Amino acid sequence: GNSVTQMEGPVTLSEEAFLTINCTYTATGYPSLFWYVQYPGEGLQLLLKATKADDKGSNKGFEATYRKETTSFHLEKGSVQVSDSAVYFCALRNTGFQKLVFGTGTRLLVSP
């Protein structure tokens, strides 16, 4: 079956620190991969996506590379800000299926 595994949180960082949130997946076929972000009291916002192996998704300083050999899609940012504090969800969507499979989410807390 399809599944997504994310690192346990919370991840606590100081402003301007480097961020990595790990995400690995299990899927048959060739899924598309996504990172969504959820700020407190809000819905989910699409942060970035990648549709095939070696694709790099990027947005607002965040990056993630689709690594088929390691079945991973780790989220990175070179310098986090307090405003990046949120919950980050890794998700996959397999070809021909409408269902998004989410990881459990990782809470990021950035202090000044």
Partner 1 sequence: DTEVTQTPKHLVMGMTNKKSLKCEQHMGHRAMYWYKQKAKKPPELMFVYSYEKLSINESVPSRFSPECPNSSLLNLHLHALQPEDSALYLCASSHPGLAGSSYEQYFGPGTRLTVT
Of the candidate residues 1, 40, 96, 112, the single one contacting partner 1 (CB under 8 A): 96
User: Applying CB under 8 A, does 93 fall inside the site for partner 1?
Assistant: yes
Q: Both tokens of residue 42?
A: 């809000």
User: Applying CB under 8 A, does 95 fall inside the site for partner 1?
Assistant: yes
Instruction: Classify 41 in phi/psi space as left (phi over 0), alpha (psi -120 to 50) or beta.
Output: left
Cβ 79 to partner 1 shortest distance, Å: 26
Cβ 92 to partner 1 shortest distance, Å: 10
Site for partner 1 in 33-72 (CB under 8 A): 34, 36, 42-46, 49, 51
Cα–Cα distance for residue pair 52/30, rounded to 1 Å:
7
Q: In 3-state terms, what secondary structure has residue 84?
A: helix
Contact 29, 53 (CB under 8 A): no
Positions that interact with partner 1 (CB under 8 A): 32, 34, 36, 42-46, 49, 51, 89, 93, 95-100, 102-105
